Amino acid sequence: MLTKRITALGLLMPSTAVVIIFLGLPLILLFRYSLNRFVPGQFMVDALTGENYVKFFSDPYYFAVLKTTVLMAVGVTIASLIGGFPVAIAVARAPRRIKSLLIILTVIPLFVGNAVRAAGWMVAFGQKGVINAALETIGVSEQTLMYTPTAVFIGIVSVNLPFVILTLQSVLEGIDPSTQEAAANLGASPFEAFRLVTLPLALPGVVAAGTLCFILTMNAYATPLLLGGPRFQMMAPVLANEVLNQNNWPFGGTIAFVLIGFTLLLTAVTNLAVARRYAR
C-alpha cells in the first residue's frame, strides 16, 4: 500500500512542479506587484500597501465594471445551459454515425480564435450587416447592434456554447435511456420525466458546464473589447488597459486578483448550494 502511494506521488510530482512553476509563481509575483505603489515615470515603487484594493472598491467606476462582468457571466451561463441542453441531449441520443458528425460540427467553431469569431460578428452586427438589415426590414430596429451589451452577450454565448454542449453531452451519455421510459410508464409526461429524472441525474454535468461557462465569461477579453466598444467595459479589457496602456502594474495586479477572487467565490458558493440541494 505504501509503495502504491509513493508511486502515485512520484507520478504526480512532474505535473505539480509544472503547475507551481508556470502558474503558481507568476500569480505570487503578480500579487506582490499589487501591493506596490504606482508612480508615473517610475513604473512602480516597492511597498506593502493595500491602497490599490481600496481604490478599486471605493471607485464607483471599477465597482460598476465588476458588476457588469458578473451580471454578464450569470446571463451567459443561464442562456448557454438552456440553449445547450437540448443540443446535448440530441447528440447523446443520436445513432453512433450521426453522433460523430454532430460532435465534429460542435467542435469545428473551436478551431477559430475568439478574435476571429468576434470579427465575424462585427460584420454581422454592423450598420450594413445581415442582422441589422433583417431587423430594419421587419421594423424592429433602425440602429446597429454593434457596440451594445446585446452584441457582447451573443458573441460570448457563441464562444461558450460548444464547451457547454460537449460537457453536458458526456454526462448525458452515461444516463440510461430506460429511466425515462420507466418514468413514462409510471404516467410522467416528457417534461416531467426530464425534470424529475434526467435533470437530477445530469446535475453534476450541469454544474461542471455552468462553472466552465461562468469562468470563461468572467475572463472574456477579445469579445467584449471588439463587440462592446469603449463604452461597455468588462474586467479583462480594463485589466489589459491598466497594464499595457497605462503601464500601471500594481493596479493591474489588483484587478487581476479581484477578478480571480470573485470568480472563485461565486463559483464555490454556487457549487456548494447545488451540492447541498443534490445531497437532499
Q: Does any domain span residue 234?
A: yes
d(CA 36, CA 278): 44
Residue with cell 479589457: 237
- pLDDT: which is higher, 182 or 257: 257
CATH number assigned to the domain comprising residue 127 = 1.10.3720.10
> 36-45, 145-154, 258-267: which range is least confident on average?
36-45
Confidence band for 2, pLDDT divided at 50, 70 and 90: low
Q: Does any domain span residue 72?
A: yes
CA diameter of the chain:
75
Q: Does any domain span residue 3?
A: no
d(CA 149, CA 224): 9
Q: Does any domain span residue 10?
A: no
Helix (DSSP H) and strand (DSSP E) numbers for the chain: 15, 0
Q: Does any domain span residue 11?
A: no
Residue at 26: amino acid letter: P
The pTM assigned to this predicted structure is 0.85
Residue 253, all three cell numbers: 495586479
- How many domains does one find in the chain? 1
pLDDT digits (tens, 9 = 90+) for 42-86: 777 888 888 999 999 999 999 999 999 999 999 999 999 999 999
Domain range holding 183?
25-34+45-279
Residue at 78: amino acid letter: I
**How far is C-alpha 55 from the geometric centre of its chain's CA atoms?**
26
Confidence band for 143, pLDDT divided at 50, 70 and 90: low
Q: Does any domain span residue 188?
A: yes
> 21-35, 176-190, 210-224: which range is least confident on average?
176-190
* DSSP helix/strand/coil, 37: strand
Residue 26: exposure state from Cβ atoms within 10 A (0-12, 13-18, ≥19): exposed
DSSP code string of 210-265: HHHHHHHHHT--HHHHHHHTTTS--HHHHHHIIIIIS--HHHHHHHHHHHHHHHHH
pLDDT digits (tens, 9 = 90+) for 161-204: 999 999 999 888 887 777 777 777 777 777 777 777 878 888 88
* DSSP helix/strand/coil, 45: strand
DSSP code string of 57-108: HH-HHHHHHHHHHHHHHHHHHHHHHHHHHHHHHHHHHS-HHHHHHHHHHHHG
Residue at 198: amino acid letter: T
The overall average pLDDT reported for the chain is 85
Q: Does any domain span residue 12?
A: no
Average pLDDT over residues 212-239: 91
Residue at 88: amino acid letter: A
Confidence band for 142, pLDDT divided at 50, 70 and 90: low
Q: Does any domain span residue 18?
A: no
Backbone angles phi, psi at 38, to 5 degrees: -100, 125
Confidence band for 155, pLDDT divided at 50, 70 and 90: very high
d(CA 88, CA 279): 25
Question: 45: which strand partners?
Answer: 37
